[in-house]
Amino acid sequence: MLRFGKQGWAMNEKTTSAPAGLAGYDYQVDISIYLALDLMLVQKRLDEITLEPANHEDLAADLKDETQVSAATSLSIGGYPLVVQAKLRNGEPWSDTDIETLLTKGKARKSPNTLLTENTALRYLLITSAATKGVARDLRTGAVAANWPAKLPKGIGSRLPGLDGRVAVLDGLDETKLDGQIRDVLLTTCKVPLPNIVDCIKELRTVALEHMRNGPSVWTRNAVEKTITAFGGYLATAPEVGLFVKPTNWGDLQNQLATRHGVIISGSSGTGKTMAAEVLLDELRSRPDGAFKVIRVTAGPEQVWNSKETGRVVFMIEDPWGKYRYHPEQGVWNRDLDRMLNGAHADRQFIVTTRSDVFKESGERLAAHWFVSLETRHYGQRERFRLFDNQVRLLPEVLKAPVDAHRDVVLKRLESPYEIQKFFDGLAGEMSPDENLPTFIHRCIDLAHYDAIENTIVDQVEARDDAFPAIAVWGLLKALPRLSWEVVPRLAEAIGEKDQELEDKIVPLIRFMAAGRNLRQPNDVLSYYHPRVEAGLERILKGHSGRAARLLGSMVDVLVAIDGDGDADWGREAAARLVQGARNDRVKVTVSPDAQAALDAFVRRRLVTPSDTLEADLKLAADVGSPDDTITLFARWVGARGDTFGTLQNWLETPVSPPDAARTAADPDVAIVAARFVRETLARTNDHFPDDFAARITVMAGPQTDAFRDAALRMVGFGYDFNARAVGTGALVDFAGFEPVVDAAIAVNISLRDDDDSVWLEIRNGEHSEGYAEHLADMHHDDGDTADSFIQLYVADLRLRSGWSAIIARTQSPELLWGWIQVLGADGVVPQPGEMVGIADAARGHRHDGRFWDLARKKWSADLGSRLEDYLKTPGLAEDTRHAVLKTMIVHQPSNGRAWLQAMAAAGDLQGVLRAMTDLRALANGYDLKSEVAVFAAEAPGHVEPYGALAQAVLDEAPYALSPSEVAQLEALDAAASPDLQLARARLLAAAGRPVRTYVESLLATAGDESEDIQRARAAIAIAIAQGLTDIVEGGLKHRFAAVRRDALRTIADGLAAPLPAHILALAHDKGSGVREALVEIL
């Protein structure tokens, strides 16, 4: 809020009586108008000001000089409270003594010094018509909230301690200049026609005086805008949300965010993507449960991953791959955005915008379900009429009717919201002397086309003779892509002091570009409205490449110097971004040795300081650092990438000379950065690094074993990770130190075995959309993979160090078995003497028993023969173990297998025979050993007489006429341990007309959730349907497998007439999509 006379310094007409006093009072009023226009309409940093009546005491009386009147303004801006005091003075320039007197004197009210002492955050700005002289000139600033002098003049500073950096003087703003500033804002930003300027200023003075006489009184931005439009003004920078026209697919955007909690709005330039995102956000936050914090992501994916926000949050990500062309450094989004979106939920939402062509150029392949397109086709005739009408209402009265008469031609030639907007912005310009109104309107139509935008900005800049200020604007937006008015005056003043050709040129051009909707300004932040605007500025820049290189270099100096005023590193960071952006766009910039040294020091300090932007900072160091700086050498070495495969990139080691490598390895800062890279980046990146990366980074940065161990502990709970072996290998350099990693990996595997697996049944039941089901499957299919990799590396090392018996001797050795199997199964690994027998004994009864026998088939040892034979005769083995044992037998001991079958038949073990047939049938339907299994299975029934015919029927799943004795034998079987045998028995007995209710109920009551369990349950319900087991079929409507519910529904509904019973219609709410689809088909 802006307050005049808040501390009792503002003037009342009664306190001044001479013409000079009236002139001073006019100066005060004009200062209030100028600050209101500048801070509310141009910079948009304030929404209202409060004008208060003046005090009865004139501070000028304390000075006894030529000062005619004084007034004060108090406001909060830039994060600090600020007192602005206005003084009209016609005599001598201000000296340091005058300034000190002004700061310290006061009778009926507190002096500025007292206020500044009481509130250490407060700052004081004097705006005056007079100049300054002597050391008082060191206090000069160029604009409100611009550069703050770091020190008071020595004499004043010693007598008024604690005011350094908090006092400034905006001098030389006499009545003529002040009037010119007001007129310029009204003409460029407010588009008030030139003939109306004088009357508009008179009205603004009348309104300001009325507020001051009746104060305290609030003067709002909206009220100022109404005054402007009343005199033919047109505010292109007015808030746009209220003018937004929702496209025809707005419901799709709303539904996408409501159901998936993440949306990527993609489309061509100028279709309203950014504003659509803002309106979506506005709707989201306006709901009763809309207490969201908004995080606008500007620092890359790490800003999201490292966000510590615990409450409800919306991440706004604008143009992650670049605004009007793809920037390779933005490729980091390719690996991370999909993971972010898949992790979205009601309390963590994402709204992303991107140009479709830039996204395509990035090579990213995101799931289509995240995208909602926004193109010109999504604005139908009604929407385009509303776009037109919304703008017509804002036009001066003299233009409304003629423009409305051209509605059809405008909407025929201009398609996108941005083109229509640009047409209306053009109408705020002036007609050429040789133009009539229709000709002017048609020219505005021509200039509004996309293809004309770049040329138009070039022509406008050249017409204003503003090529060099345009280069400066390009540089500012490259340094600060979201350029705040909080820093614009300060930077513009500093650049103008360094290059006088630019003095007082940059801010007017920015105002002009914002008014012409070439710069977007929804609040106090500026950015490009359209990529072709940036392209136009870049074209101007490249047309003056030599001058541009020097100017950009000078801007780097200015930005670097800003941090010397006691600010944080934002100036150096902006300087680095400017150099990086210029070089990425192949624009030459001449960086001075001092600035380069400052940039080197900045990126070094940034990289050794903990942060959540390491990858971006490494890229920054590689782009802007000195070629021979050790930090730069390391950043370029570690950041190089080679071939790209989808979202995966391979690290590409670039050659570094031995002397340079020795220098980097000797730099302790490089070691810190390398350790950070290993812990923070290598531990989560999708870019692939070689398994021997630890040895390679040691050459550049010294040993990083501790960092690799920390990274391993961070990664141990991950699924599949490209760099697990690289990290594990680096950590294993300290074998003893790796033990905690192994213990953590074992703990991960144990916890995964205890996890609830219900998500897999939800997927198989079709309870989630296809995309989300795919996401859930991707999330869990590789659970524990990194832990397994670390265990495998450990087992391999332990085996080589101490022999295979050390694996068995280690604590929790059963948890190492899978890693041991993987080590032995690798190509080229030869089992040690006795190792295969040792691992066979360790695997007996283990959950990985079957995997051991798969290994044994590959690395067969003759001394396993007796154990294989023993396994064949062991009842109650798990299905996967039986299958693995059978395959190993078929490959290595088929004769023993035939003898085993013969022995079961001879012993009358029908259960064993038929279970062997169902297992052989399952193996024949698999992918391994197709020919070997087929040969053995074809011969198997001949070895089990007198059960050969029955065995053949089970093997082939073929109809078979059972004899009474076979019926009795089947009914007497204990098939509980073999679901496939249960199903085979149920089918055979059902075909024989025997009761099968018990067998069907047993199959439907399966505890398993695998696809095989679902298929057996569906076969069981099919038997119940065929056998007329109505109660079981009715019960199938409530089965936990959606496929069973669907089959039961189709059967039951087939015999019903409309209307369907309520319990059938209730299945419209079934979680399984297949059940709901079946009901729709039935209806």
In tens, the pLDDT along 159-176 reads 888 888 899 998 988 999
| Same domain for 204 and 257 | no
| Same domain for 94 and 43 | yes
Q: Is residue 434 part of a domain?
A: yes
* pLDDT tops 90 at residue 779: no
3-state helix, strand, coil in the chain (%, to 5): 60, 10, 30
The residue out of 182, 200, 230 marking a domain boundary is 230
pLDDT tens digit string along 459-501?
Answer: 889 989 999 999 999 999 999 988 888 889 889 989 998 998 9
* pLDDT tops 50 at residue 14: no
In the prediction, which pLDDT does 351 show? 95
In the prediction, which pLDDT does 762 show? 84
The residue out of 422, 448, 474 marking a domain boundary is 448
Q: Please state, for a pLDDT cut of 70, what percent of the chain lies above it.
A: 90
Average pLDDT over residues 740-757: 88
Q: Is residue 394 part of a domain?
A: yes
Query: Under a CB-based contact definition with an 8 Å cutoff, are residues 938 and 928 in contact?
Result: no
Average pLDDT, the chain: 86
| Same domain for 478 and 429 | no
* pLDDT tops 80 at residue 72: no
Most confidently predicted of 89-93, 1036-1040, 1054-1058: 1036-1040
| Same domain for 120 and 185 | yes
Total count of residues recorded for the chain: 1083
pLDDT tens digit string along 102-119?
Answer: 888 866 567 888 888 888
* pLDDT tops 60 at residue 248: yes
Residue given tokens 């005769």 in the structure block: 873
* pLDDT tops 80 at residue 19: no
Q: Is residue 853 part of a domain?
A: no
* pTM given for the model: 0.73
Is 339 exposed, middle or buried (CB count within 10 Å of its CB: 0-12, 13-18, 19+)?
middle
Other beta carbons less than 10 A from residue 976's beta carbon: 10
* pLDDT tops 60 at residue 9: no
* pLDDT tops 90 at residue 515: no
Other beta carbons less than 10 A from residue 565's beta carbon: 15
Cα(676)–Cα(682) distance, integer angstroms: 9
Q: Which of 243-247, 859-863, 914-918 has the lowest mean pLDDT?
A: 243-247
Q: Is residue 1070 part of a domain?
A: yes
Cα(843)–Cα(832) distance, integer angstroms: 17
Q: Which of 88-97, 144-153, 1023-1032 has the lowest mean pLDDT?
A: 144-153
The CATH number assigned to the domain holding 246 equals: 3.40.50.300
Q: Is residue 293 part of a domain?
A: yes
pLDDT tens digit string along 311-370?
Answer: 888 999 988 887 656 555 566 677 788 888 888 888 899 999 988 877 876 666 677 889
| Same domain for 304 and 161 | no
Cα(223)–Cα(469) distance, integer angstroms: 32
* pLDDT tops 50 at residue 17: no
Q: Please state, for a pLDDT cut of 90, what percent of the chain lies above it.
A: 49
Q: Is residue 646 part of a domain?
A: no
Top-confidence residue, 91 or 587: 587
The residue out of 207, 230, 253 marking a domain boundary is 230
In the prediction, which pLDDT does 150 show? 83
Domain count, the chain: 5
| Same domain for 334 and 292 | yes
* pLDDT tops 90 at residue 393: no
Domain span including residue 319:
241-378
In the prediction, which pLDDT does 323 show? 66
| Same domain for 259 and 220 | no
Contacts of 578-582 with CB under 8 Å at 24 or more apart are 578/475, 578/478, 578/479, 578/552, 579/623, 579/624, 580/619, 580/620, 580/623, 580/624, 581/478, 581/479, 582/475, 582/478, 582/552
Please, which pLDDT band fits residue 645 given cuts at 50, 70 and 90?
low
Top-confidence residue, 107 or 1081: 1081
* pLDDT tops 90 at residue 767: no
| Same domain for 254 and 348 | yes
| Same domain for 415 and 363 | no
In the prediction, which pLDDT does 215 show? 65
In the prediction, which pLDDT does 364 show? 63
pLDDT tens digit string along 191-241?
Answer: 787 888 999 999 999 998 888 777 667 888 888 988 988 887 777 555 556
Helix (H) / strand (E) containing 918:
helix 910-924
pLDDT tens digit string along 274-299?
Answer: 889 988 988 887 777 767 888 888 77
Q: Is residue 1051 part of a domain?
A: yes
In the prediction, which pLDDT does 20 show? 54
Q: Given its phi and psi angles, is residue 395 left (phi above 0), alpha (psi -120 to 50 degrees) or beta?
A: beta
**DSSP states along 812-878:** TGGGGHHHHHHHHHSTTPPPPTTHHHHHHHHHTTSTTHHHHHHHHHHS--GGGHHHHHHHHT-TT--
Q: Please choose, from the candidates 451, 453, 424, the residue with its C-alpha nearest in 3D space to the C-alpha of residue 529.
A: 453
In the prediction, which pLDDT does 48 show? 79
> In the 3-class helix/strand/coil scheme, how is 535-596 assigned residue by residue?
HHHHHHHHHCHHHHHHHHHHHHHHHHHHHHHCCCCHHHHHHHHHHHHHHHCCCCCCCCHHHH
Top-confidence residue, 922 or 63: 922
Residue given tokens 């341990």 in the structure block: 977
Top-confidence residue, 893 or 332: 893
Top-confidence residue, 686 or 732: 732
In the prediction, which pLDDT does 7 show? 32
pLDDT tens digit string along 808-829?
Answer: 999 999 999 999 999 999 999 9
| Same domain for 332 and 443 | no
Cα(59)–Cα(12) distance, integer angstroms: 12
pLDDT tens digit string along 552-580?
Answer: 999 999 999 986 555 468 899 999 999 99
* pLDDT tops 80 at residue 640: yes
Please, which pLDDT band fits residue 919 given cuts at 50, 70 and 90?
very high
Alpha helices by DSSP H, 110-196 = 112-118, 154-159, 175-184
Helix (H) / strand (E) containing 295:
strand 293-296
Please, which pLDDT band fits residue 804 given cuts at 50, 70 and 90?
very high
In the prediction, which pLDDT does 451 show? 66
Token digits for 1035?
């019960």
Helix (H) / strand (E) containing 72:
strand 67-77
Q: Is residue 616 part of a domain?
A: no
Specify the DSSP class assigned to residue 6. Answer: T
pLDDT tens digit string along 528-551?
Answer: 877 788 989 999 999 999 999 999
| Same domain for 460 and 423 | no
| Same domain for 582 and 439 | no
In the prediction, which pLDDT does 904 show? 95
* pLDDT tops 90 at residue 936: yes
